[in-house]
Amino acid sequence: MARNQVQFQKGLGMAQFMALYGTEELCHEALVKMRWPDGFVCPKCAKRRYSFCAPKKLFQCSSCHRQTSVRAGTVFQKSRTPLTKWFLAMHLLTGSKNDISGLELARQIDVKWDTAWLIKQKLMEVMLQRNAIYKLSGDIQIDDAYQGSEKAGKRGRGAANKLPFVAAVATRDGRPIYMQLRCLPGFTKDAIKTYARANIAPGSRVLSDGLNCFKGIVAAGVAHVIKITGGGRPKDPDFKWINTGLGNVQSAIKSTLRSCDARHTPRYLAAFEWRYNRRFELAKNLERLARVAMMIEPQPRSTLAAIRLKSADLTG
């Protein structure tokens, strides 16, 4: 039986990682090239002439004398953690199929748990914001799911202490290509309509089971095919890839993280989605994440700790 080339690809090995990002100077140089590929540009006056203070790693504009660092205005802003540890965290978070717990990340990059947690949340926020710009297209399988507390009580749809989210997989030639995991305020027609308008491209064809809320897909102007499957997770072969995807999501969270706070669930789901959709070229994933991190505004702890359960956050 032929091996799956995606699963058996080489990726970015630790030796190669150390050669590229093993020192603070290498990491700083990499970020400078990502932020200013054509040379330094002053964020205040847009002039290019500058001087550089090596001990403090500060660029000073020769025109307006504004001082700035490569971290300023990015996710890395005000962080006292060395860039080598940031880059190692990005490598560990993007280089494998499953997630990595905050405690394990703290051990691997040699920081306190609180620092590792904050670094991970910031990087997952980068993934979340990047995911939001893409839409699925073509043939799409979709299903409802829940993530959250395992407290005793009602299970499945309508269960308490669980955060509802929709999972969708776009296929091509019968194979899964891209996945979306989007939290919703609830499984209603309006919520699905809002989700579909924001996340599914016109001209797509969406396959779902008979859950009534999925009628919102048609209301969003997207072709919708309903296949009645009975209660529980659909066993029909037409839902193969969405079932496989949801199984992998649950395995990644329950087996690796055990559980996650509902306030941060959208980011944990976004991290899985980000890795899944970039599984074809693992060696490039660290650089991809670093480049986007340079484009995202600073994310202070107060922002990351806030509850992300507003409809604008959950469907866009």
What CATH number corresponds to the domain at position 232?
Answer: 3.30.420.10
Residue 295 — very low, low, confident or very high, per pLDDT cuts 50/70/90?
very high
Does 231 reside within a domain? yes
- CA distance linking residue 139 with residue 206, whole number of Å: 6
Give pLDDT, residue 199: 96
Does 184 reside within a domain? yes
Longest Cα pair distance anywhere in the chain, in angstroms? Answer: 70
Does 51 reside within a domain? no
Say which residues have a Cβ less than 8 Å from residue 69's Cβ, sequence separation at least 6: 56, 57, 58, 59
Give pLDDT, residue 151: 44
- Is residue 157 classed exposed, middle or buried when 0-12, 13-18 and 19+ CB atoms within 10 A define those classes? middle
Domain that holds residue 198: 139-263
Does 240 reside within a domain? yes
pLDDT in tens, 62-101: 999 999 999 999 999 999 999 999 999 999 999 887 889 8
User: 157 or 182: which carries more pLDDT confidence?
Assistant: 182
Query: Using CA of residue 298, residue 127, residue 183, residue 153, what is the dihedral sign?
Result: negative
Q: Under DSSP, is residue 49 helix (H, G, I), strand (E, B) or coil?
A: coil
Number of domains forming the structure of the chain: 1
- CA distance linking residue 13 with residue 273, whole number of Å: 22
Does 98 reside within a domain? no
pLDDT in tens, 230-279: 666 667 788 999 999 999 898 887 777 766 777 788 999 999 999 999 99
Contact assessment for residue 307 and residue 124, using Cβ atoms and an 8 Å cutoff: no
Tokens found for residue 73: 């205005």
Does 305 reside within a domain? no
Say whether pLDDT at 31 is over 70: yes
Residue 5 — very low, low, confident or very high, per pLDDT cuts 50/70/90?
low
Mean pLDDT of 175-179: 95
pLDDT above 70 covers a percentage of the chain that reads 88
Does 18 reside within a domain? no
8-state DSSP, 310: S
Does 207 reside within a domain? yes
Give pLDDT, residue 161: 59
